[in-house]
Amino acid sequence: MTTPTTNSRLPTYFISHGGGPWPWMKKEMGNAYTRLEASLADMPRQIGRKPRAILMVSAHWEEPAFTVQANPKPPMIYDYGGFPAHTYQVHYDAPGAPDLALRVKQLIEGAGLPAAIDAERGFDHGAFSPMAAIYPDAEVPMVQLSLRRGLDPAEHVALGRALAPLRDEDVLIIGSGLSYHNLRNFGPQAHGVSKAFDDWLEEAVVEGAPAKRAEQLANWATAPSARAAHPREEHLIPLMVAVGAAEAEEGVRVYHEDAFMGGLVVSSYRFGAAANA
C-alpha cells in the first residue's frame, strides 16, 4: 500500500451524537439540534473528499476486548426508549466493511491490546444518528469499534495510537459521545458545571501543547466538575481514541453551544489538519 502524503491524511473527530434518534424528530424537537446538525453536516466540506470508510467509536458499545463490527450489512439497534413509534422504524443503511474490520483488529493486536470480531453487530444510535447528518445518503461504508470495559483513558489513547495508520488509508476515525453527559442534571441548572468542565476540556485539547494532551486526559477525573459532568465516563472516552490517533497534531473546536437543551455548555473537536478549515 502506498502511503499518502501528510497533507492527504484525514483528521480525526470527537463529536456529540445527540439524544436518541434526534434527526428523525425535527418536528418534535424544533431548533434544539440546529447547530449540532450544521456542524456535523460541515464535516465532509472540512475533509475535502469522501473517505473510503468510517471507523466509528461509539459511547454505546462496551466489550471485554476492543471489538470490531464485521457485519457486511449491519442492522439497526434501537438502543433508546420512550421515543415516538416511528423512530423504531428508521434506517441508516450504510454498508459494513469486513475487510476494514480485519485490518482494525490486526492493528489493535499489533499494539498488544486485546481485540475481537463481532460478525452480527448492528449500528447503534451513537453511530447512525450523527451519520444521518454527516452523510445522509449512507453511501460511505462504516465499521463500529467498541470501547473496552473499565474505560481506562490511557488504554483508549493507546487504542487511538494503534489506529493512526488508518488515517493514511483514507479511513475517517470518529469518536462519538458528548462532552457533558449527566442525564440526572440536564438543563439550565447544569450550566455552571458543564461550563467548568468544558473550559477545562478546551484548554486541555486545544490551547495546551499536543504533547501533553494524553497525560491531561488520563487525569480527566481531577478536572473541575469532572464527575458532575460525567458520573460515568463512557461518553467522554471516545475523545481519547480521537486524540490518540492524532497525538501530535492541532486540536480545533468545531462545535460549541453555551445553552444546549436550555443551558448546557457542550463542544466537539477535530484533530489534525482539514483540507478546508
User: Which one, of 139, 84, 150, lies nearest residue 113 by Cα?
Assistant: 150
Q: What mean pLDDT comes out for the span 99-106?
A: 98
Tell me the C-alpha to C-alpha distance, in Å, between residue 30 and each of 27, 250, 261: 6, 34, 11
User: Where are the chain's structural domains?
Assistant: 6-271
Model confidence at 138, pLDDT cuts 50, 70, 90, reads very high
pLDDT at residue 208, rounded to an integer: 85
pLDDT of residue 5: 41
Confidence of residue 4 (pLDDT cuts 50, 70, 90): very low
The sheet with strand 53-63 has its strands ordered as 115-118, 66-69, 142-148, 53-63, 171-177, 12-16, 264-271, 251-260
Give the Cα separation of 274 and 252 in Å (integer). Answer: 10
Q: What percent of the chain has pLDDT over 70?
A: 97
What pLDDT does 209 receive? 87
Whether 145 shows a pLDDT value over 80: the answer reads yes
The residue behind cell 421515543 is 83
Q: Give per-residue pLDDT as tens, 7-66.
A: 589 999 999 999 999 999 999 988 999 999 999 999 999 999 999 999 999 999 999 999
Q: What is the mean pLDDT of residues 123-148?
A: 98
Measure the CA–CA gap between 186 and 87, rounded to whole angstroms. 22
CATH architecture group of domain 6-271: 3-Layer(aba) Sandwich (3.40)
pLDDT of residue 6 exceeding 60: no
Per residue in 237-265, pLDDT (tens digit) is 999 999 999 999 999 999 999 999 889 99
pLDDT reading at 267 higher than 70? yes
Q: Does the pLDDT at position 2 exceed 70?
A: no
Strand partners, 256: 267
pLDDT digits (tens, 9 = 90+) for 162-176: 999 999 999 999 999
Residues 88-110: what's their mean pLDDT? 98
Q: Nearest Cα to 14, choosing from 143, 165, 202, 216? A: 202
Q: What is the mean pLDDT of the chain?
A: 94
Q: Which amino acid is at 150?
A: G
Please choose, from the candidates 97, 103, 105, 99, the residue with its C-alpha nearest in 3D space to the C-alpha of residue 65: 105
Whether residue 275 is predicted with pLDDT greater than 50 in this model: the reply is yes
Each residue's pLDDT tens digit, 174-220? 999 999 999 788 888 899 999 999 999 999 999 988 888 999 999 99
pLDDT of 210: 86
pLDDT score, position 185: 81
Q: CA-CA-CA-CA torsion for 220, 224, 229, 231, nearest 10 degrees?
A: 60
The whole-angstrom separation of Cα 104 and Cα 111 is 11
Residue linked to cell 454527516: 134
pLDDT > 90: what percent of the chain? 88
